[in-house]
Structure 1
Amino acid sequence: MSTSTSRPSTSKPSSSVGSPSGSQADIELLQSPFVLPGGASIPNRIAKAALSEGLAEPDGRPGPRIRNLYRRWATSGMGLIITGNVMVDSRAIGEPGNVVVEDERHLADLSAWADTAKKGGAKLWAQINHPGRQIPRNLSSQPLAPSALAASGVGGAFAKPRALTTAEIEDIVARFATTARLLVQTGFDGVQVHAAHGYLISQFLSPLSNERTDEWGGTPENRRRFLIEVVRAIRAEVGPEVPVSVKLNSADFQRGGFGEDESLDVVRALAAEGIDLLEISGGTYSSAAMLGVDPTLKESTRKREAYFIAYADRVRAEVPRLPLMLTGGFRTLDGMADAIRSGVIDIAGLGRPLAVEPDLPAALLSAKTESSDVRPKRSGIRLLDNLTELVFYTVQLWRMADGKAPAPGRHPALNVTQYLLRNGVDSVRLPRRSR
C-alpha cells in the first residue's frame, strides 16, 4: 500500500498461495503509515476522532484529569489522536470543562498534556474551535454569531446571539492562529479546525445562520471566507510543515441550509489552500446527523459502516489528492480496511467506541478482535435513549480520567445522576457526540 497522497489502489489482495488471509491483509493495511502533503507521517490508518472531554480545570487549563484520560489512550494503538474542543476564547466555550488556549498562561500544562498523549508514538493534533451561538444559556446570555439568528430545534438551550462586527470577526480569526501557534509550541503535532456541527465556522457557511450582506456573507464565496481566512492565518503562524486539518460537514441536513454541492465547493477551496487532511462529518445540533445518522439514508444503508462514505466518494472524485478521514459508524476491522482499500478514504476515525473500549485499535491490529462490542443499553423510547446514550459515553470518559475502567454495564440512572450533578440540567439538552 502506497504511503503517498495519491489515490490508493483499488485492487483487492491477491488470493495466491502465500498471500495473507483476509483479516491479516486488513491488519497490514491498517498498520501502514500515511504521509501527509507537508511531509508529516501518521504511523497507521486508525485515528481517534475528537470527543469533547469536559475535563478542563475551572480556568480552562488541561489538568491532571484530562492527562489521565489521554494517558489511557496513549497506548491504545492509534496512529493519530485528535483532542476534543480546544476553545480560542475564554468568553465563548461550548460546554463546561472545555480547554481554552488564548495566551501563554498554561504552556506548562499544555506541554504536559502533549507529552502524556504522545508516549505511545501516536501523533497528536488539537481540535480548535469557537462555538458561536452554540453556548448554553447558563454560560452566556448573549453569544456572538454571524447574524442575530437563534438556533432552531434545540428547545431554547442557546440564547439568541448578537451579530459579530467586522472587528470581532478579525479578532476571532487572529485567535485561531494564536491558539494554533501556542499548541504547536507546546508539543502538539498539528491542529484541526472545527468547521462542522453548527459551531461558529459552520454558522458562517450556512445560509440559515448567515444572513450578512457584507464581505462575510451573501454569496457562497463570502460565506466561506471566514473559514479560508482562519486556515490562512493558522498556516502563516505554524508554517508549511505542521499539519493543518479541517473537519467539515458534508451537509447540515436542513432545508435551505448547507448542502453537499456547496460543501464540495468549500472542499475545493480548502484543497487550494493546501490543507493536509479533511475529516468528513455532518449535521448540527438542529439535525439528527450529529447523533451519528444521516437522515437521508435508507435504513439498510444506515446499518452499514461509515455513514458519510457516499459523500467521501464524491470528494475523492473531485479532489483526488486531498487526504481524507472519515468518522462515524466504523465498528469492524474489515469495515475500516474496505473503506481505505477502495480508495475512498485514507484514515478511519473512531470516536465513541474508544470511550468504552480504549484499547480497541491495538486489539484490532493484533488480531485479538475484529469488531467493537460497544452496545449502550436502550429502552426503546427515543428521547430517553438519546439522553442516556450521550451520558453513557461521557461518563466513561470521566471514569478513565479518574483512573477507573469504563463501566458499560452500569445502570443508566446512575450515569444520568452523575452527569446532572456535574453539568446541570441545561446540559442534557445538548447532544454530546463526536466533535
Structure 2
Amino acid sequence: MSCLKYPNLFKPIKIGNTVFRNRIFSSPTGHSDMTADGKHSEDAIAYYERKSIGGAAAVTLGEAVVDSKYGYQYPAQIRLDGSRSMSTLARIADNISRHGAVASIELQHAGMGATPTPGNPVYGPSPCTVGGLEVKEMPEEIIWEIVEKFAKAALFVKSMGFGMVTVHAGHGWLLNQFFAPRLNKRTDKWGGSAENRARFAVEVVDAIHRLCGSGFPVEVRISGTECNDVGYGIEGGIEFARQLDGHADIIHVSVGCSTGLNTRNNVFSHTHPSMFLEDGVNVKYAAEIKKHVKISKVATVGALTDPAMMEEIIASGKADIVEMARGLICDPDLPVKTLSGREDEIIHCMRCMSCFSNAMSKGHLFCALNPVTNRERYLNQPLSTTVKHRVLVVGGGIGGMQAALTAAKYGHEVILCEKSGRLGGKLLCEEKVPFKVHLKQYIETQAHLISKAAIDLHLNTEVTPEYAKSVGADVIIAAIGSKPEVPCIEGINGKNVLSAEEAFASPEKVESSAVIIGAGLVGLEL
C-alpha cells in the first residue's frame, strides 16, 4: 500500500471532534445544473458522491448563499436561508458520508458583488460605486444579522448531515471585502486595524461554534494575497490568518480577489492557476502563513495533482492539508489510486480551463480529459455486457484511446489500430511545449492504461476496407481525427509553409524569420 510511500499524505487528522481519513480534501466546487425550484439535480448529487468514492477525506460543495436578500450573485447558487434545498442537501451529505468522506459546504455572501434584489440596496464595508452600481456602507445591525445567518446556515446544514462548513472569506466576497484596506474605510470597530477588519470573519466563526458546538469543524477560506497591484500582499494574508488563529479550525489559504478592482493583473489566473503557471504555485503563501499560525490547521490549494509534491508539502510542514478542485474533477480516483500504488494511472489535470468554459458557455461542467464528469449518474453505472462485440477502433488519438479503454472496460473484444508508430494523434505535436507537460503526461498515461487493458493494439497499421473486413468486427469506431482548414492563398503549399501542427512537432524547421497567419489561440501560442 502506498500509505507507506506517502505516510504523511495518508495520515489521518483529527480536527474538532472529526477524524479525516487522509490529508486530501476536495475543495469547494459549485454545480450549475440546478432545478427550477433551487435544488441540486440528480446529476449534481452523483457528481459530489463520486469524489467521496475516489477517496478524498472531505468533499465540499461550493458557494452556498447564507443571505438571499443581500448576498447572492448568480441564480445557480444554493440558498440556505430557506428550506427548498433541504431534501437534496440531505441526500448529498448522506451519499458523501457513506463512502467515508466528511461532507462540507461553503458558506458565502457576495457583499458588494451581489446581484441587487428589488427594493434592496447592495452593501459593502464602505460606500463606493462599482460598475455604475452604488454600494452603501453596511449598517452594524445588518452585520450582526449576517453573522447570525452564517451561524444558522451552518446549523441547518449540520442537521442535514454535513460534518463541516467552509466559510468563504477570500476571493473578494463579503468577509474578504471587510478585511481589505482598499475597500474598508470604516472608522468604527469594523474597520481600521487588522483586528477590526477581521472582526466580521472572527464573529462568524465564533457564532457557528456557539450554535453547532466547539467540536464542529469550521474551515475559513482566505486569500493569502490578493495577487494584484492595489490589494494586500502576503503580509496582509498573514495578519488575517493571525486574527483567525484559534477561532477557525482550518485556515484554507487560496489567493486572489476580483471585487472592486481597477488593476492590470489577471487575478483569475492565480485563483485558478492555468497551465502557464507551475505546479503548486500557491503553496508558498500557505507555507509562509503557517509559520505564523499557532493553533489552527493550514490548508493549501492550487495546481496540485502530484502525490510526491503533496507528500512533501505535508512532511515539510508547509501545510497540514492539501486541497484540489479541478484535480479531482479530472480524476476523482486520484487519492485511492495513490493509496493503492497506482500513481501511473492518475489522469492529471492539465489546467486547460475547459471545466470553466463549459460551465459558462453550456451551463454544465464538463472536463476535457474525463468524459464521465457530470455524467456520473449514468456513465458510472456497471453495465452487464450480455452480448460481447468485436470492436475495431480506427485511430489512436485521444478519442480512439478513450473509446478503446471504455469498450474494453465493458468487456468487449477490442482492436485498436493506429497508422503511425505512436499513440497520441494530434496532441503529439505539442509534447515539446514546456508548459504543456501534463498534456504529454496524459498521452503517456492513456498509452500505459491501454498496454494493461485487454486491447489488441496494432501500430503502423492503416485500416483499409479490406483490412476492416478481414478483422470481422461487429462495430467500427472511426476516431480518425480532424484536418486543418487551409485557406486558398497562392503559394500556401510551398516548401517554406508549415502547418501549426508541423511547427509544433518540428520547431527546428521554423527559421529565424517567420510569418504566422492567424491570431487565434493556436497562432498566439506559436
TM category, shorter: 0.7 to 0.9
Give distance in 2, aligned partners of 1:102 and 1:393.
24
Q: Secondary structure at the match of 1:224?
A: helix
1:154-210 Cα deviation digits (max 9, x unpaired): xx4x84433222221111111001000111111100111100000111111112222
Deviates more, 1:318-327 or 1:235-244: 318-327
Match of 1:374 in 2: 349
Match of 1:129 in 2: 108
Q: Per the alignment, do residues 180 and 377 of structure 1 end up closer, same or farther by CA in structure 2, a change over 3 Å counting?
A: closer
| TM-score normalised over the length of structure 1 | 0.76
Match of 1:422 in 2: none
Alignment of 1:251-270 (within 5 A): 251-270=225-244
Post-superposition offset of 1:67: 1.1
Aligned-pair identity in percent equals 25
Larger Rg: 2
2:331 is aligned with 1:357 = yes
8 Å CA contact retained: 1:133, 1:144: yes
Match of 1:162 in 2: 136
Alignment of 1:106-255 (within 5 A): 106-135=85-114, 143-151=122-130, 156=131, 159-255=133-229
What is the identity, as a one-letter code, of the residue corresponding to 2:283? I
Give distance in 2, aligned partners of 1:232 and 1:25.
38
Q: Secondary structure at the match of 2:252?
A: strand
2:365 maps to which of 387, 390, 395: 395
8 Å CA contact retained: 1:206, 1:223: yes
What is the identity, as a one-letter code, of the residue corresponding to 1:395? L
Give distance in 2, aligned partners of 1:82 and 1:311.
22
Post-superposition offset of 1:240: 0.9
What is the identity, as a one-letter code, of the residue corresponding to 2:192? G
Match of 1:10 in 2: none
Give distance in 1, aligned partners of 2:356 and 2:77.
22
What is the identity, as a one-letter code, of the residue corresponding to 1:374? C
Q: Secondary structure at the match of 1:172?
A: helix
Match of 2:251 in 1: 278
Post-superposition offset of 1:393: 11
Q: Secondary structure at the match of 1:288?
A: coil
Match of 2:72 in 1: 93
Q: Per the alignment, do residues 202 and 58 of structure 1 end up closer, same or farther by CA in structure 2, a change over 3 Å counting?
A: farther
Post-superposition offset of 1:236: 0.8
8 Å CA contact retained: 1:277, 1:325: yes
2:33 maps to which of 44, 55, 63: 55
2:48 is aligned with 1:78 = no
Q: Secondary structure at the match of 2:81?
A: coil
RMSD: 3.3
Give distance in 2, aligned partners of 1:391 and 1:375.
20
Give distance in 2, aligned partners of 1:360 and 1:112.
24
| TM-score normalised over the length of structure 2 | 0.63
Give distance in 1, aligned partners of 2:378 and 2:289.
41
Match of 1:291 in 2: 269
Post-superposition offset of 1:73: 1.9
Give distance in 1, aligned partners of 2:376 and 2:12.
33
Q: Per the alignment, do residues 170 and 137 of structure 1 end up closer, same or farther by CA in structure 2, a change over 3 Å counting?
A: closer
Give distance in 2, aligned partners of 1:118 and 1:75.
10
Deviation >6 Å, runs of 4+: 137-141
What is the identity, as a one-letter code, of the residue corresponding to 1:33? P
Q: Secondary structure at the match of 1:177?
A: helix
What is the identity, as a one-letter code, of the residue corresponding to 2:231? G
Q: Secondary structure at the match of 2:8?
A: helix
1:186-241 Cα deviation digits (max 9, x unpaired): 11001111000001111111122222222222332221111111111111111111
1:25-45 Cα deviation digits (max 9, x unpaired): 443432221112x23211111
Structure number with greater CO (CA < 8 Å, separation at least 6) is: 1
Q: Secondary structure at the match of 1:128?
A: strand
8 Å CA contact retained: 2:356, 2:365: no
8 Å CA contact retained: 1:205, 1:220: yes
Post-superposition offset of 1:53: 1.6
1:46-82 Cα deviation digits (max 9, x unpaired): 1101112223333433343321212222311111111
Post-superposition offset of 1:353: 2.0
Give distance in 2, aligned partners of 1:272 and 1:351.
26
Q: How many residues align?
A: 370
What is the identity, as a one-letter code, of the residue corresponding to 1:396? F
What is the identity, as a one-letter code, of the residue corresponding to 2:322? A
Deviates more, 1:185-194 or 1:93-102: 93-102
Give distance in 1, aligned partners of 2:364 and 2:185.
35
Q: Per the alignment, do residues 99 and 200 of structure 1 end up closer, same or farther by CA in structure 2, a change over 3 Å counting?
A: same
Post-superposition offset of 1:107: 3.1
What is the identity, as a one-letter code, of the residue corresponding to 1:280? V
Post-superposition offset of 1:404: 5.5
Q: Per the alignment, do residues 394 and 105 of structure 1 end up closer, same or farther by CA in structure 2, a change over 3 Å counting?
A: closer
Match of 1:381 in 2: none
Q: Per the alignment, do residues 256 and 235 of structure 1 end up closer, same or farther by CA in structure 2, a change over 3 Å counting?
A: same
Give distance in 1, aligned partners of 2:305 and 2:204.
33
What is the identity, as a one-letter code, of the residue corresponding to 2:99? G
8 Å CA contact retained: 2:195, 2:243: no
2:333 is aligned with 1:347 = no
